[in-house]
Amino acid sequence: MTSDALQRERVHVSRLTRALENEKLLAVALLAPAVIILVLFIAYPFVMAIWLSLTNLRVGGVGEFVGLDNFIKAWHDTIFRTVFWNTFFYTFWATVFKLALGMWLALLLNRHFRMKRIIRASMLLPFIIPTVLSTFAWRWMFDPTFSVVNWVLYHIGFITVRLPFLSDGDWAMWCAILVNTWRGVPFFAITLLAGLQTISPDLHEAAALDGANAWQRFWHVTWPLLMPVTLVVVVFSVIQTFSDFQLIYVLTGGGPANSTHLVATYAYQLGVGTGLLGEGAAISLFMFPVLIAVV
Amino acid sequence: MVIWWAEIDKTGKVVLDSKETLASVQFFTAFWKEAHDEGGLAWDDTNNNRAFLSGEISATLNGASIYVESLRKPDQYKTDKGARLNTDILHAGLPGGPAGRYAYHTAFSHMIMKYSKNQKPAKEFLRWAHAKDNYEKWFVVQKGFAAAPTKVWESHAMWTQNPVMLPFKTALQHGRAMGYAGEPNRKAAEVWNKYIITDMYAKAVQGMKAEETVRWAAGELRKIYV
């Protein structure tokens, strides 16, 4: 390499280094990948969805601007009203169960016992298995004809007719809540467990010395200290549950007679299944104000 | 599970809320309670196949796919007496109602996108695939699974091969498209995709009054057929 070339390289390196030493430029460089991903995969589809919801676009057609017609039509759609109510019901009960069971599990796992690490890790399994896969397994267990649960209950003499797990509207909804809870409890438990481990044992000891029983220690020491973590977990869970799609799509497809349809699955059915892209987008956007309010 | 009455008249007006529809919902509710598998409301497209092949049900509305499966695995599917199940299966068209015989048969159509840059070869391909000699090869290997689309194909020698498949020879004579007696258009597809007619019966089976479910379904149809 000639000394000229070396010189040039040194100048080049030092220019880059100098540029990166500038905090503003460094910040831009570090943020750029995240911003690009957000714009491409979150912002663009979101703006597109808003635009679609204001048009009467159908598959294979050219949409025209129709203002808020799609939203008005959705609001007068009796199926949509059922769906909207289902989504609230599903989210509320699934979150309540996940919080209660997750908290209980976290408190249990916070104790010392043999094979603690293995048990803590294995508890995450429902959360790790792809939702579609585990929901298929549940669907087989709730199968209207070949349900293993019905088979067992029948053979030990608990029932004489099959339980209508997915064929009765109310049963199907509670089954969906059960599966969602089964899947979501580990997330609650692990996050709450992490929160529990930051609480100093001294506080419990002090409370115990003052004569507080187990419930009082939980209610006056653990619960208030755990509140910030709990809030974050609940908000995350509400967002995910409210916009749930895969679980319902695989387990019931929204049936019987729309009794388990959620906003996301109905938006898909209208937008992709029926080809009414505008109306589907409008229905999915009904989730947005609710989720904003939650956050 | 389809009991067919006119949803729409020829001019596109919703005529679903008729006393005939009401009678069909009432008939179906009783029919369901007496003869159907109570888990049926949770069935998808494959459940009836599995239920039939496992001997849980003895009749179902289906194409020949169950029979074909029983032919494919003759030793796996048996009757309760141990005979091969495929020797104990027969097909028949849907029975007629007061207004005649109606059925919905899945129709497949070939289309070419307007924006396609290969329209000419695509058209040529379709013409080739539907030329009598080429279509015939496909039609024969279907063994009757694809029903005769026109009268000409009803007289094909293939129908003499297996008497079990014979009802499919003339099945399409009673076939009606979605939205009958109106056009099978986008609106009819929307009604289908929203399961409005299915849900009309499903709600009645689940305990809603027949009058209410018919009114509900007709209301939903009117929102689509504006």
User: What pLDDT, on the 0 to 100 scale, is given for residue B3?
Assistant: 46
pLDDT digits (tens, 9 = 90+) for A105-146: 999 988 888 888 888 888 888 988 999 999 999 999 998 888
User: What pLDDT, on the 0 to 100 scale, is given for residue A1?
Assistant: 52
Residues B140, B157: Cα–Cα separation, whole Å: 9
Residues B43, B51: Cα–Cα separation, whole Å: 10
Residue B34 per-residue DSSP state: H
pLDDT digits (tens, 9 = 90+) for A41-79: 999 999 999 999 999 888 877 888 888 889 998 888 888
Kindly list the residues from chain B whose CB atom is less than 8 angstroms away from the CB atom of residue A253: 44
Residues 117-146 (A) with a CB less than 8 A from some CB of B: 142-146
User: How close are the terminal C-alpha atoms of chain B, in Å?
Assistant: 28
Query: B186 Cβ partners below 8 Å, 6+ apart?
Result: A58, A275
A167 neighbors B38 (Cβ within 8 angstroms): yes
All residue ranges of chain A with pLDDT < 70 are 1-13
Verify whether the Cβ–Cβ distance A273 to B193 is below 8 Å: yes
B206 neighbors A168 (Cβ within 8 angstroms): yes
Query: B106 Cβ partners below 8 Å, 6+ apart?
Result: B63
- Three-class secondary structure of residue A286 per DSSP: coil
Query: Within chain B, how many helices (H) and strands (E) appear?
Result: 9, 0
All residue ranges of chain B with pLDDT < 70 are 1-7
Alpha-helical segments (H) within chain A: 3-21, 23-38, 44-53, 69-75, 78-109, 116-122, 125-128, 131-141, 148-155, 169-197, 201-209, 214-217, 223-242, 246-251, 263-268, 277-285, 287-294
φ/ψ of residue B136, rounded to 5: -60, -40
Of A145, A255, A273, nearest to B56 by CB-CB distance is A145
φ/ψ of residue A186, rounded to 5: -55, -40
Q: Is A47 on the interface with B (CB under 8 A)?
A: no
Verify whether the Cβ–Cβ distance A257 to B199 is below 8 Å: yes
User: What pLDDT, on the 0 to 100 scale, is given for residue A210?
Assistant: 87
The identity of residue A101, as a single letter, is L
- Which has the closest alpha carbon to A75: A285, A260, A292, A283? A283
Name the burial class of residue B177, with classes exposed (0-12), middle (13-18) and buried (19+) by CB atoms within 10 angstroms of its CB: middle
Of A144, A168, A172, nearest to B43 by CB-CB distance is A144
What chain A holds in terms of domains, given with CATH numbers, is 3-53 (no CATH), 78-294 (1.10.3720.10)
Verify whether the Cβ–Cβ distance B42 to A273 is below 8 Å: no
Of A60, A165, A276, nearest to B190 by CB-CB distance is A276
Residues 157-216 (A) with a CB less than 8 A from some CB of B: 161-162, 164-169, 172
Interface of B with A (CB under 8 A): 37-44, 47, 50-51, 54, 56, 113, 186, 189-190, 193-195, 198-199, 202-203, 206, 216, 219-220, 223
Verify whether the Cβ–Cβ distance A79 to B194 is below 8 Å: yes
Of A143, A166, A258, nearest to B199 by CB-CB distance is A258
The identity of residue A278, as a single letter, is G
B2 neighbors B103 (Cβ within 8 angstroms): yes
Tokens of A176: 């969906």
Probe site for chain B from A139, A163, A167 (most B CB atoms < 10 A): A167
- The average confidence (pLDDT) of chain A is 89
